[in-house]
Amino acid sequence: MRPSRRAPDELRPVSLERGVVKYAEGSCMVKFGDTHVLVTATLEERLPPWLKGQGRGWVTAEYGMLPRATLERTRREASAGKQGGRTVEIQRLIGRSLRAAVDLEALGERQITVDCDVIQADGGTRTASITGAWVALADCINWMKTRNMLKANVLRDNVAAISCGIYQGTPVLDLDYAEDSEADTDANFVMTGDGRIIEVQGTAEKTPFSEGEFLALMALARKGVARLVDLQKIAVA
């Protein structure tokens, strides 16, 4: 029995609310249960120096947590003077995941920066971030389309992400914090709308896992991502 009484293959209630801040070209408040992330997409007509003059654009991401998004207050990274290793890992993952679905040549020499700021954290902040980021990114690209800034299709497919893990011997979908802190194995899957894999990260927190266990997690993830992609489609419709 999961602490939340969910079935093993049951997502938390998911919501994707668009247009939540007034300045950003795209934005989304994504909620996976009690995990709430505010995502914005910013379009800028400039590129990082190493990318200039190559006829293509860039999508990058930054991630942060409000200090009291967590049970205990976490030190503010701006005050600590640097981003922690976990933050760096997550924002690199988000950026890579989004770029896998974007035609950077079609974007042109521009940069879209996706900011994912966790308002409240109850496990799965990185998967919620990616799932919501796709919505903000889609809105940003629509914003460009309505201004005739794009000639070709930029967004090739949906991108969504979900975590899975082995909790008390059972593979379960979409771990919340209570499960995540107990799970033997924890994996994050980023997948496209057509069911292919963009990124897989599986970690044995305590005991190494078998290939069979891993495949069970992947099957759950595929199911969860399909549901998230449906919700994305409804949101941007």
Binding status of residue 120 toward its own copies by CB under 8 A = yes
Binding status of residue 148 toward its own copies by CB under 8 A = no
- What distance in Å separates the CA atoms of residue 145 and residue 107, rounded to the nearest whole number? 11
Binding status of residue 155 toward its own copies by CB under 8 A = no
Stretch that binds its own copies, among 5-13, 40-48, 141-149, 226-234 (CB under 8 A): 40-48
DSSP class of residue 155 equals B
Q: How far is CA 63 from CA 37, 46, 97, 165, in A?
A: 10, 21, 14, 23
Residue from 81, 151, 234, 237 in contact with its own copies (CB under 8 A): 81
Identify the three-state secondary structure at position 65. strand
- What distance in Å separates the CA atoms of residue 119 and residue 136, rounded to the nearest whole number? 16
Residue from 3, 92, 181, 233 in contact with its own copies (CB under 8 A): 92
Binding status of residue 48 toward its own copies by CB under 8 A = no
Cβ proximity to its own copies: between 13 and 237 the closer is 13
Cβ proximity to its own copies: between 61 and 237 the closer is 61
Q: How far is CA 3 from CA 108, 127, 167, 207, 228, in A?
A: 47, 20, 10, 22, 22
Cβ proximity to its own copies: between 179 and 186 the closer is 186
Cβ proximity to its own copies: between 133 and 237 the closer is 133
